[in-house]
Amino acid sequence: MPHGGGGHDQVADGAINILEIKAAYREVLDELERMRNELDPLINALENPDDRAVMRLRYINGFSPEDIAEAIHRTDRSIYYYLSRAEDQLVRKYPDKVSK
């Protein structure tokens, strides 16, 4: 063989790398799902519905504060206020589960 079959090794190495990346990706997704499952009941315990909505958009759906502001027709500053207020409530209510 003129090339010594080196192409096969590259393909095999590439396939192994892809499998390793997929496994790492799956681990990250599993960890995010676990975190969402832990956070969801805490968010549901917030008294203010606006706080719940903003926290859900931010921490469950992964929206940026700017995207949340645009989606619900509020200012960026008000979104930061909602987040801060809700986070403070959660820290006070669940100090063993939540830190700021």
Going by C-alpha positions, the residue among 41, 40, 45, 33 that lies closest to residue 57 is 40
Its pTM surpasses 0.75 = no
pLDDT at 50: 94
Q: Round to whole Å and give the CA distance between 90 and 81.
A: 14
pLDDT at 88: 94
Pull the structure tokens for residue 36. Answer: 């969402």
* pLDDT tens series, the chain, 100 aa: 455 555 678 999 999 999 999 999 999 999 989 988 999 999 999 999 999 999 999 999 999 999 999 999 999 999 999 999 999 999 999 988 877 6
Cα angle: 11, vertex 17, 19; to 5 degrees: 105
Domain annotation for the chain: domains and CATH numbers? 7-93 (1.10.10.10)
